[in-house]
């Protein structure tokens, strides 16, 4: 269903501000200038045991101008979206560039991009979540809470819902002008069981955050009824499960868990600014350096990982990025070898010879009008095997192992290389069959050893789009939402830790 752009956003002086601001930048000597206007609306709902804890609804609006003057970036922003302010910000951005010029050792040059004249793009959703009365949302979550609290094995229920409506207008001195609107939401339900001795165990739904509307919770886009129905029994089984014996195990990893491993060990590692060492102070650099492009063996020949910005309902899906680059799809890893990176226009131009491409793949994004666009992650996805096995078939191949479902905590080093991950549920596999849950499990590996141990990939029927609302990067810190699709997959001989023993308890 196609939706119109929010009238509250369109009522702002978008084109008038762009015309005046960009002309002021030209008049001040800028060789490039771009202007963004953003209106971000967020609504969060939080409930505990069927009672509303908080409900917030906020709107932020702003205007930003970025310029290249004498080969140097300049940037300025304001909450005042007016024609006069656009002119002032353009002049201030040029002043910032002039002041910064003595510190700049490498002139800024941007990769070429076709011009897109006055285009509009709206993400795919059916029901705008902001059109739904909050009392309807609270009533639904009260119903879910009471349903779970009616079981003896559930002592507490926490429900949260994050929703966002993002309107963004972009124009630059080349003539590109884009208007975009994105909707996304993230619902989570967590059940807690408290044992008589004071200990507790939790179980969280594995539904992913999505670029969808309210229909995700009510119209069958996800089977909430089934997951809520099974949560009490799963929670009880987890609470009574045996603690894992550490050692080497074969793993079948469900896409509800594997997406996060992809995010940390592939998504961040193939950000070119990390690989070049530009992003270092916040979450580190990358072992996948540019000199290894085309030669680094990331994993087995089965491994095909793509970056894209147009997957339906993806959290990083857009029509155009924050530098006016159209959405694309490209290979990051093909046949197990590193073959690509995530790029913005400056990095694409600066490294064109080494990359073998001269165009940005559209990975510039700013999380608000007062932030400079930086290279941010697209939807990064492991492709399924056409005609490949089901999850049950993968499990049947394992004599002694563990089936991992749902994400939880994680840790990875400053080069995206050494890591460990936990999950929501771990099932012991014996003789190709699930025999019950285990507790206190974490899997540990290096990135290349882990992906090098992948023996089989599930078919398209196992493919699920996971993701996160809260990917952090840059200083000052910016937050972006991103999706990662993947099938179930089988890994041989992965190290399993017992988290309780590792903690010295």
Q: Take residue 84 and report the two structure tokens written for it.
A: 């006069």
Residue 191 to residue 10: CA distance in whole angstroms: 42
CB 253 within 8 A of CB 453: no
Q: Is the per-residue pLDDT at 282 higher than 90?
A: no
Q: Take residue 145 and report the two structure tokens written for it.
A: 């809470």
Q: Take residue 500 and report the two structure tokens written for it.
A: 């309780």
Query: What does the pLDDT read at residue 198?
Result: 78
Q: Is the per-residue pLDDT at 196 higher than 90?
A: no
Q: Is the per-residue pLDDT at 215 higher than 90?
A: yes
Query: What does the pLDDT read at residue 1?
Result: 65
pTM score of the predicted model: 0.97
Task: For 357-396, give one letter per residue: b (16+ CB within 10 A) or e.
Answer: bebbbbbbbbbbbbbebbbbbbbbbbbbbeebbebebbbe
How large is the average pLDDT for residues 150-177?
97
CA 268 to chain centre: 10
CB 184 within 8 A of CB 265: no
Residue 190 to residue 121: CA distance in whole angstroms: 35
3-state DSSP assignment of residue 193: strand
CA 89 to chain centre: 31
CB 188 within 8 A of CB 176: no
The residue behind tokens 């917030």 is 56
Within 10 A of 235 (CB to CB), how many other CB atoms are there? 25
CB 413 within 8 A of CB 445: no
Residue among 263, 286, 265 nearest 275 (CA): 286
Quote the percentage of the chain above a pLDDT of 70.
100
Full set of structural domains in the chain with CATH = 7-240 (3.30.2290.10), 243-502 (no CATH)
The H or E element containing residue 3 is none
Residue 496 to residue 401: CA distance in whole angstroms: 10
pLDDT by residue (tens digit) across 46-97? 999 999 999 999 999 999 999 999 999 999 999 999 999 999 999 999 999 9
CA 345 to chain centre: 21
Mean pLDDT, all residues of the chain: 97
Q: Which residues pair with 401 in a beta bridge?
A: 250, 429
pLDDT by residue (tens digit) across 459-497? 999 999 999 999 999 988 999 999 999 999 999 999 999
Q: Is the per-residue pLDDT at 458 higher than 80?
A: yes
Q: Take residue 258 and report the two structure tokens written for it.
A: 């594997």
How large is the average pLDDT for residues 329-341?
98
Q: Which residues pair with 69 in a beta bridge?
A: 72
Query: What does the pLDDT read at residue 502?
Result: 87
Q: Take residue 359 and report the two structure tokens written for it.
A: 């165009």
How large is the average pLDDT for residues 164-193?
98
The residue behind tokens 């492991």 is 382
Half-sphere exposure at residue 248, Cβ-oriented, CA atoms within 13 angstroms? 4
CB 99 within 8 A of CB 116: no
pLDDT by residue (tens digit) across 406-426? 999 999 999 999 999 999 999
């Amino acid at each position: 269903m196609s939706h119109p752009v929010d009238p509250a956003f369109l009522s702002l002086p978008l084109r008038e501000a762009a015309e005046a601001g960009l002309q002021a930048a030209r008049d001040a000597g800028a060789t490039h200038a771009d202007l963004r206007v953003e209106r971000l609306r967020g609504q969060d709902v939080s409930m505990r045991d069927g009672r509303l804890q908080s409900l917030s609804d906020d709107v932020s609006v702003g205007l930003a101008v970025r310029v290249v003057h004498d080969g140097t970036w300049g940037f300025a922003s304001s909450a005042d979206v007016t024609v006069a302010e656009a002119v002032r910000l353009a002049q201030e951005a040029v002043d910032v560039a002039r002041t910064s010029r003595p510190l700049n050792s490498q002139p800024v040059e941007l990769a070429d991009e076709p011009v897109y004249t006055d285009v509009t793009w709206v993400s795919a959703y059916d029901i705008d979540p902001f059109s739904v009365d909050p009392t309807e949302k609270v009533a639904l979550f009260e119903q879910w809470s009471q349903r779970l609290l009616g079981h003896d094995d559930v002592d507490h229920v926490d429900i949260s819902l994050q929703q966002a409506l993002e309107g963004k207008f972009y124009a630059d001195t080349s003539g590109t002008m884009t208007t975009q609107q994105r909707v996304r939401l993230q619902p989570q339900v967590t059940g807690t069981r408290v044992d008589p001795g004071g200990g507790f165990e939790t179980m969280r739904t594995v539904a992913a955050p999505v670029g969808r509307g309210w229909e995700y919770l009510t119209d069958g886009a996800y089977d909430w009824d089934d997951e809520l129905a099974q949560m009490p029994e799963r929670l009880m089984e987890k609470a009574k499960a045996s603690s894992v014996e550490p050692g080497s195990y074969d793993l079948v990893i469900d896409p509800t868990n594997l997406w996060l491993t992809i995010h940390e060990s592939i998504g961040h590692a193939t950000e070119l600014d990390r690989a070049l060492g530009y992003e270092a102070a916040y979450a580190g650099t990358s072992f996948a350096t540019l000199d290894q492009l085309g030669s680094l063996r990331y994993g087995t020949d089965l491994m095909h990982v793509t970056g894209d910005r147009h997957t339906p309902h993806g959290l990083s899906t857009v029509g155009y990025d924050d530098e006016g680059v159209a959405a694309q799809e490209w290979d990051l890893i093909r046949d197990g070898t590193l073959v690509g990176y995530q790029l913005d226009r400056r990095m694409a131009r600066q490294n064109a010879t080494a990359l073998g491409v001269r165009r940005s793949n559209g990975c510039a994004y700013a999380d608000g009008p007062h932030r400079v666009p930086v290279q941010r992650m697209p939807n990064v996805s492991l492709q399924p095997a056409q005609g490949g096995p089901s999850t049950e078939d993968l499990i049947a191949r394992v004599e002694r192992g563990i089936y991992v479902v749902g994400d939880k905590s994680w840790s990875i080093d400053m080069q995206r290389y050494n890591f460990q991950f936990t999950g929501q549920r771990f099932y012991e596999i014996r003789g190709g069959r699930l025999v019950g849950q285990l507790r206190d499990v974490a899997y540990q590996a290096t990135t290349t050893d882990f992906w090098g141990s992948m023996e089989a990939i599930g078919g398209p029927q196992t493919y699920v789009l996971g993701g996160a609302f809260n990917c952090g990067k840059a200083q000052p810190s910016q937050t972006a939402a991103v999706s990662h699709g993947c099938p179930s997959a089988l890994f041989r001989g992965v190290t399993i830790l017992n988290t309780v023993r590792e903690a010295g308890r």
